[in-house]
Chain A
């Protein structure tokens, strides 16, 4: 007889068996393009979306370039190669195109949003969060637009921006992440179907946090969003991105591109909470492949871009939100929590490219591995010859839960001038049975103990999130840990 207690085998299994909370699939007829990527498909997408000529050219150029590229091999991830010809590149729910109010939205879709806790209903609108909700490839509802338009802020689906503000889109599209950047960015440039567009005019502080919830809904439909945020001189915006996905059997590719541009004295805060389906806990089957290219360009003097990310989902995450610091005295920040459990793999980190004088970057990365998961931090700090007086501080910590998981750290440093300074701290900690027992002896359950210890480990990052997002993130982490302890 044994004292059945700290994370006994039985309990671990119970927790592991808790099925994915958001693993449901809405039953709506979708209009889906035939599988495969070709000039024909791209012309079809462009035509369906009524795009201006420059957009079609942009796509076709990317497609042409793609034929010269191969999938990267260098990341610390193991997965079967993605067959681009086995993916459908366009899918839209059959709903009326122009919607004046929420009443016009398919109730089925609204119920899905409700299950996901998305604040779209009238009463939730009062929460002061503008929502541009993406359901598969077509936006079905946008709120708060009027209030934003009053101060000149544009926040709309990408396709609408192409229609209404083609000049701004044309000016900035692909200037931060060119289609040649990497394989997945190239796929995106050719085949993206939707995304968000944000434009903050000069001397404007965006009056509310902007939030987009992404969902993948149709089986075997890869989703390729493209987000562009431009902040003119002396302006500010805080943008929130969050997502969950239903449970499926075939792996789903997600290859988003996010481009941020900050001009003089502008500040962009970009926060992500990511909770896509990670695959079957035992076999790892069916999870999302999340290959994202996110980059911000601090073009103006004293501009600032902060990336804050809470990564908990996906079967595979491949993601390096970075900053190109061009403007003198500009600032780049990266705050990250990446939790991997079961069979998840994450290869994430950041790139800080210092070009301007006295540019400054801060990197705080917290990787948590549980189960049989592999968690890799990969970060580049590059200080060019021109970046006199540049400064970087990096802290990357790893936490191990159990002894079947792995944490890996690959910091790359490339300094090409003598006046730059760099600080680096790194630590690996393990959650011990003794710690969990200590909590339990004080009447706190093992699950709560683990959540508390992990939240403590992450708090430097959590406090960078907008308050309501921080609460959500804390809960999400707790939920994901509960599913996975052991």
Chain B
């Protein structure tokens, strides 16, 4: 599904990713854990094509093809989705019509007819329940004045509606209380199939109790420094990151 091949990349001339490699197969759930500032968000921006990220070397393959030359909207249409760590507020644009616009963009890309507002409303009822939101939520301006938790639920609602092949969750757990964390995790779990892949970025282990990863990577200073199974996350939880960060002698 996704192959990041030895990528070196910088933001504003500062090297952030220093040789990152990562391969995710269809149906796999990978977790990336690491200290703040280690470059986790930069990694998700790299894959989704954020213009701030300048790639110096390496390649990213999605379904076997390089996506480096694709604009972010093309990558999204091909099936890359990122739940933002900090979803941006867009005054004046209705949450529901934004969601429908994104949904229709995808349908159009697939050569399908666009869906009108009434059919769309019907179609998303179930997904709204998944994330524990009611319909009035759709009438509000996009992310504007949303609480931290509401913003994250909204990201997952978008994920559930757009049904991407690859979902990157960038610290979706931060800002969520226990109940919201459970709701959101359950929604994500419903989305997991044999075909879809997930890259779950988190600072804390607790999310991984709910969304259980197949593979766990520890990220530090722009690189994956250790890879293991879900027990690695528990180990980090117990000992912190420091023991891993010691230079190997």
Contact = CB atoms under 8 A, between A and B. Distances in A.
Interface of A: 1-6, 8, 429, 432-435, 437-446, 448, 452-453, 455-457, 459
- The SS class assigned to the B binding surface is mixed
B84 A6 contact: no
Contacts of A441: 48, 72-73, 76, 81-82, 84
A456 B68 CA distance: 32
B73 A446 contact: yes
A440 B93 contact: no
Contacts of B53: 3
B49 A442 contact: no
A437 B44 CA distance: 13
B105 interface: yes
Contacts, number: 96
A4 B69 contact: yes
Contacts of A453: 90, 92-93
Contacts of B73: 439-441, 443-446
A3 B51 contact: yes
B102 interface: yes
Interface of B: 48-51, 53-56, 68-69, 71-73, 76-77, 81-82, 84, 87-88, 90-94, 98, 101-102, 105-106, 109, 141, 158, 162
11 contacts: A2-B54, A2-B55, A3-B50, A5-B71, A435-B88, A437-B50, A440-B71, A442-B81, A452-B98, A456-B94, A459-B92
A429 B91 CA distance: 9
B227 to A, nearest CB: 26
Q: Which of B73, B76, B82, B90 has the most CB of A within 10 A?
A: B73
B71 A4 contact: yes
Given A442-B162, A443-B73, A443-B76, 6 more contacts: A1-B56, A5-B49, A442-B101, A443-B106, A452-B93, A459-B92
Contacts of B93: 452-453, 456
Contacts of A459: 92
A1 B91 contact: no
Nearest to A11: B71
A432 B50 CA distance: 13
B196 to A, nearest CB: 16
Nearest to B84: A438
Contact of A444 (B55, B68, B105, B141): B105
Nearest to A447: B73
Contacts of A437: 50-51, 72
Contacts of B106: 443
